[in-house]
Amino acid sequence: MASRSTIMDNNSFRAEHAAALDPQTRRLTERRDEVLGGSYRLFYRRPVHLVRGQGQYLWDADGQKYLDMYNNVASIGHAHPAVAEAVNAQMLRLNTHTRYLHERILDYTDELLATLPEYVDPTDFKAMYMCTGSEANDLALRVAKAHTGGTGLIATTEAYHGNSELSSSVSPALGSGQPIGDHVWLLLAPDGYRTGVDDIGPWFASEIRAAIADMESNGVKFAGFIADSIFSSDGVLPGNYLREAIDAVHAAGGVFIADEVQPGFGRTGEHFWGFAAHGVIPDMITTGKPMGNGIPVSGLFARSEVLASFSDTVPYFNTFGGNPVSMAAAQAVLDVIRNEGLQEHAKVLGAAALERFTQLGETHKAVGDVRGAGLFIGFELVKDRSTKEPDRELALNLLEELRHRGVLTSVAGPHGNVLKLRPPLPFTHIDIDWACEALDSSLRALN
Ligand code: PMP
């Protein structure tokens, strides 16, 4: 089993930075400290106080404009009027729960499942709705256990799947203070760059097989493997390499939960769903973040056969999940993705951005690797290209420099040295220029 790391436990703001803050930011930061519990973290040594957003741009309290290179929640753009209007209209009409009949949840489900790749039969899936990705994964894990009768789970060493008791038990990205489940086996993510393995698919499949064997030799029955198929918190690892691993999961009687909270809803360009890049059929698909563009709505889409042992015996109810207002938001998001051609846009702009960031990387020796799928790009910083020694300090300093140049983003990966470049989908060529200039001058400033 691989060791644990602590990237999400990274508080950029520290008390010693307070003296350098302007009085208003300092007051807000201190108040936050007094009012909210200690678990809350802040981005940036000089925290950003945002007051407005539109499209891919954000504005702070001083009127400074930022390019949002981080936000996959406001995936179709901040303050999108289609979502605001759909929510407003439904809110003024009716908002109840799923124990009354309503068409919206059914129409939406039909339309969403129609976006599944051609090789997947949408009629084979049943939908359940909730409010957060954590809840979706929590339910998926319960279903996995009910279906298989097992308790053993596999996740990756830098995975994040949520903050509930169960979903946090497969979320080592929360840091060493977060207990990982007794029956959870953690594997290094299939990172071709860092492991130096050329054919990462067979390598990862053999890691999966070994973990299952180890689990079973410890008397733990295997239930399933949960992964975000672009492995965003593990450092953004696009590709087509999971098929053999998923075959191994199925051969051992386990289920594959595709956590689509990050790659779903067209962001990866080529595909609407992240798992489609791998040509695999998940047993369960979980969604969240971009699904409602900021309105809390999430989903679990499970193969009927897998869901049955749970749904035949346990009732499901979620006060807010799937209500007409959240479904109105989700429907508006889906309509906008289609009407504005955002998946195709993510593909075209993502390819252009990847090319520009790659060219830029070639001119800075601290850039070890640039990789991406659509508008989901990882920009990895190293001390030395030949040893690939990660440069976390540079990555954290780079975040601050980028912020001074109006570009907001954050880091990922077990070493915290990979910039996660993941803007709202309406991103343009002008924004690529902005991001490239900011990256270039920031890297020069830190040289
Ligand atoms: N899965 C993944 C891959 C995520 O990135 C997140 C949130 N960062 C979650 C699950 C949890 O979603 P939520 O915060 O909506 O509970």
With CA atoms as reference, report the closest residue to 246 among 222, 226, 265: 226
Q: Which CATH number characterizes residue 404's domain?
A: 3.90.1150.10
User: Per-residue confidence at 16, pLDDT binned at 50, 70, 90?
Assistant: confident
Protein residue with its CA nearest to atom 1 in ligand 1 = 161
CA-wise closest residue to 299 among 51, 113, 423, 446: 113
Residue 283 sits in a domain whose CATH number is 3.40.640.10
Return the ∠ at Cα 370 (arms to 67 and 430), rounded to 5°.
30
pLDDT of residue 7: 55
Average pLDDT score, the chain: 96
pLDDT at 13 over 90: no
Gap from CA of 390 to ligand 1 centroid (Å): 25
Is there a domain that residue 26 lies in?
Answer: yes
Indicate the top mutation candidate among 160, 268, 376 to test ligand 1's pocket, ranked by most ligand atoms within 8 A of CB.
Answer: 160
Domain span holding position 71: 7-76+342-446
pLDDT of residue 1: 41
Encode 374-384: b = buried (16+ Cβ within 10 Å), e = exposed. bbbbbbbbbbe
pLDDT of residue 8: 60
Among the candidates 311, 339, 367, a domain finishes at 339
Distance between Cα 133 and ligand 1 center (Å): 5
* Residue pLDDT, tens place only, 307-316: 999 999 999 9
Determine the pLDDT at residue 11: 61
Do 353 and 317 fall within a single domain? no
Q: Please report the pLDDT score of residue 174 as a whole number.
A: 95
Whether 2 is covered by a domain: the verdict is no
Kindly state the average pLDDT of the residues 322-344. Answer: 98
Is 234 within a domain? yes
Mean of pLDDT values over 250-269: 98
Report yes or no on 85 lying in a domain: yes
Tens-digit pLDDT profile for residues 178-214:
999 999 999 999 999 999 999 999 999 999 999 999 9
pLDDT confidence of residue 4: 46
Whether residue 324 is contained in a domain is answered as yes
Based on the fold, state whether residues 264 and 280 are members of the same structural domain. yes
Give the residues across from 382 on adjacent strands: 390
Question: In terms of domains, do 283 and 429 share one?
Answer: no
Measured CA to CA in angstroms, residue 312 lies from 97, 199, 308 at distances of 21, 42, 6
What is the tens place of the pLDDT at every residue in 367-392? 999 999 999 999 999 999 999 999 99
pLDDT at 2: 43
Domain annotation covers residue 1: no
pLDDT of 238 over the 50 cut = yes
Residue 3 has pLDDT above 50, yes or no: no
Is the residue at 268 inside a domain?
yes
* Structural domain count, the chain: 2
pLDDT in tens, 211-224: 999 999 999 999 99
Ligand 1 centre from 72 Cα, in Å?
Answer: 11
